[in-house]
């Protein structure tokens, strides 16, 4: 995870002071990129504890197409509570766009009826049937739905690539909270890459993380400097039950030999 720490150092040194939606203020750097080779271990940060259970619960929630925190997140994790309404609803956020992207088709009577596109099923089928395609893409940035969402997608667009026996994944993240969110995002998409690769009889290889606005909130600076003083430990590994991606459940995912250093609490900017 040295590349992550290098990004932290770079933003601290070269980031520009910016105001932001939350009113907190940031050091911001535009256009960075990280690359992780899953053949070297699972990229879960060791210089502070990342709550892997929360990573798993959130990813499975996305993959079920859920948009309400009461349907699979609560009481397992509280990471979306700050944005949910009184009924636990977030609007058509990630899971809805991944599994139920709205489209309209004309019926025999000439009327348009609402249908859904399941991007996850679609991309897995494409990888299996046309592996060399450059169109293995899932998009969460649905312009028509942005105003209906409690929070527009930060990690908004990802693409798979097949190279021989290997599967890669690249994520574009428009807005990235380096201290709190990015370690979580890295682990989530690395796990998704493993799940899809297994179903497609491929080996998970590179996770490439491309950033728009990568930022450190001003109230995270002291904690992130503390983290930079720590020495990264050996990466853990993850094993999965041999199931299709959309059938995998929480107990089918096992983290091995994770030995992080002490947890650092970073406040959430809402």
Q: Is 262 inside any structural domain?
A: no
Please answer whether residues 195 and 149 qualify as being in contact, where contact means their C-beta atoms are separated by less than 8 angstroms.
no
Q: How many residues does the chain have?
A: 270
Write out the catalytic residue numbers. Answer: 154
Q: What CATH number does the domain containing 8 carry?
A: 3.30.572.10
* Nearest Cα to Cα of residue 250 among 108, 80, 59: 59
| Structure tokens that stand for 119 in this block | 């991007």
Q: Is 265 inside any structural domain?
A: no
Q: Is 186 inside any structural domain?
A: yes
pLDDT for res 21: 85
pLDDT for res 110: 81
Q: Is 210 inside any structural domain?
A: yes
Rounded mean pLDDT for each run of 10 residues along the chain, 270 residues in total: 94 94 92 97 97 98 97 93 96 98 86 90 98 98 97 97 98 97 97 98 98 96 94 96 98 97 84
Cα 26 from Cα 15, distance rounded (Å)? 8
pLDDT for res 267: 79
SS3 at position 18:
strand
What is the residue range of 184's domain? 2-52+130-256
Q: Is 236 inside any structural domain?
A: yes
Q: Is 110 inside any structural domain?
A: no
Please answer whether residues 247 and 194 qualify as being in contact, where contact means their C-beta atoms are separated by less than 8 angstroms.
no
Q: How many domains are there within the chain? A: 1
pLDDT for res 212: 98
Helix H or strand E encompassing 71: none
Q: Is 222 inside any structural domain?
A: yes
Cα 98 from Cα 245, distance rounded (Å)? 13
pLDDT for res 259: 96
Instruction: Provide long-range contacts, Cβ within 8 A and 24+ apart, for 257-262.
Output: 258/44, 258/46, 258/52, 259/46, 259/233, 259/234, 260/44, 260/45, 260/46, 260/47, 260/48, 260/49, 260/50, 260/233, 261/46, 261/47, 261/48, 261/49, 261/230, 261/233, 262/48, 262/49
Q: Is 78 inside any structural domain?
A: no
pLDDT for res 40: 96
């Amino acid at each position: 995870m040295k590349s992550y720490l290098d990004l932290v150092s770079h933003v601290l040194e070269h980031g520009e002071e910016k105001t932001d939606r939350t009113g907190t203020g940031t050091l911001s750097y535009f256009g960075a990129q990280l690359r992780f080779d899953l053949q070297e271990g699972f990229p879960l940060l060791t210089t502070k504890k990342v709550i892997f259970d929360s990573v798993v619960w959130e990813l499975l929630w996305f993959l079920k197409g859920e948009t309400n925190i009461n349907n699979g997140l609560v009481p397992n994790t509280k990471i979306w509570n700050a944005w949910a309404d009184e009924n636990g609803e977030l609007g058509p956020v990630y899971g809805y766009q991944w599994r139920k992207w709205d489209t309209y088709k004309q019926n025999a009577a000439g009327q348009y009826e609402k249908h859904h596109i399941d991007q996850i099923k679609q991309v897995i089928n494409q990888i299996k049937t046309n592996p060399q395609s450059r169109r293995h893409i899932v998009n969460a940035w649905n312009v028509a739905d942005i105003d209906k969402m409690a929070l527009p997608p930060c990690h908004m667009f990802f693409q798979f690539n097949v190279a021989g026996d290997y599967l890669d994944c690249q994520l574009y993240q428009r807005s990235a909270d380096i201290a709190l969110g990015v370690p979580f995002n890295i682990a989530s998409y690395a796990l998704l890459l493993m799940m899809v690769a297994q179903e497609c009889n491929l080996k998970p290889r590179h996770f490439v993380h491309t950033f728009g606005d990568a930022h450190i909130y001003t109230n995270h600076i002291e904690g992130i400097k503390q983290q930079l003083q720590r020495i990264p430990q050996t990466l853990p590994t993850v094993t999965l039950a041999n199931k299709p991606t959309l059938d995998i459940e929480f107990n089918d995912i096992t983290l091995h030999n994770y030995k992080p250093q002490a947890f650092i609490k970073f406040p959430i900017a809402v």
